Structure 1
């Protein structure tokens, strides 16, 4: 009885293995298997052509590699909306620490305009993959005005270049950075000066050395000289308590 059970189990296992093998063969020779093999063959041929082309034209391959690497770098360093909000608040705090008589009017006007639009909810962010754009809309979308809720009155794409406020690229918002270049210099204080006085140039090496030498000399102790005439007619000079005789 036990021997017959073992024999039936062996027969069933062999039948299952044969059935599996036949199903795998049918899958390989079927329509899906043929499509997968052709797809893998196409990818293999494309990779081979890329390697052969790179060997035959190394400069062209290097140029494509640099372009792809640059595009990936721009994608990874593309600033988002949060970075723009952070930079805007930081620049606003920097200007708030300065007196109105010192801060730049151009920088202050640009930042105050951005802060006003942000408080009104009219700033919008658009990511282009390798770069980002911040633009202004006419109304806050969360308001209940008809003009803000009607899709037919939305801003057309043709007006986007005229509504752009800043461009983010390579981890920086360039317009905001350019406006804050000399934020601690008030241009109104120098507008009445002549161009020769307004234009400045970096000092030369000789001028720098001369200024450093004058600065070191200004730190030295002051030497007092007092002339005294002795009984025999000789003149002596006293320097910081030291007597130097002169003939």
Structure 2
């Protein structure tokens, strides 16, 4: 009785092992197995051809690698919506530190418009992978107006280029950076000047050296000279605490 049980167990174990092997072989010969083996073979052949092509044409391979590296760098440095809000807050604080008579009207108008649209909830951010755009919409999506909730009245994609306010690329928002150039110069103060006075040019090296020399001389202490006439008719000059005789002898 015990011998028959052991024999039955051994037979069942062998059959299970044979079944596993048969199932694996059946999977390898199935359509899915053939497709996976063909796919791996194609990838292997493509990698081999890429390595052989890079050895035969190193310049072309270098250009492709540079393009791939540049694309990855743009993807990693693509600014997000938080960076735009941070830059907008910093530029707004810079302009707030200046008097309205000094700040640039172009910079102030652009920043104030962005702040106004942000408070209204009409600024939107869109990431394109290697670049980002900030655009304006007509309504706040949380508004309960019919125009804001109806999908048939939404802005079509064809109008998106006209609504773009800023472009983010390589870690910088370029429109905001351009608008903030010379933000501490008010152009309205110089628009009535003649063209000859309104145009400015960088000083030459000689003018810069002369200005620096005059600036250093202006920092020197003031020297006062007092003439004194003695009883014997000898004139002496007192200069910085010293008495210089008319005959050229110096005494203190």
What TM-score, normalized by structure 1, do the two folds share? 0.89
In the TM superposition, what is the alpha-carbon distance from 1:186 to its structure 2 partner? 0.9
In the TM superposition, what is the alpha-carbon distance from 1:237 to its structure 2 partner? 1.7
State how far apart, in whole Å, the 2-side matches of 1:97 and 1:228 are.
56
Query: How do 1:1-247 residues align onto structure 2 when only pairs under 5 Å count?
Result: 13-247=13-247
Return 5+ residue gaps in structure 2 as ranges.
Answer: 248-252
Instruction: Give the match for residue 250 of structure 2.
Output: none
State how far apart, in whole Å, the 1-side matches of 2:19 and 2:156 are.
64
State how far apart, in whole Å, the 1-side matches of 2:163 and 2:36 are.
50
CA-to-partner distance for each residue in 1:104-153, whole Å, 9 max, x for gaps?
11111111111111122221222111111111122222212211111111
State how far apart, in whole Å, the 2-side matches of 1:89 and 1:5 are.
83
State how far apart, in whole Å, the 2-side matches of 1:44 and 1:219 are.
77
State how far apart, in whole Å, the 2-side matches of 1:101 and 1:190 are.
12
In the TM superposition, what is the alpha-carbon distance from 1:12 to its structure 2 partner? 5.5
In the TM superposition, what is the alpha-carbon distance from 1:97 to its structure 2 partner? 1.9
State how far apart, in whole Å, the 2-side matches of 1:19 and 1:158 are.
62
What TM-score, normalized by structure 2, do the two folds share? 0.87
Call closer, same or farther: CA 1:197–1:4 in 2, change over 3 Å.
Answer: same
State how far apart, in whole Å, the 1-side matches of 2:203 and 2:14 are.
94
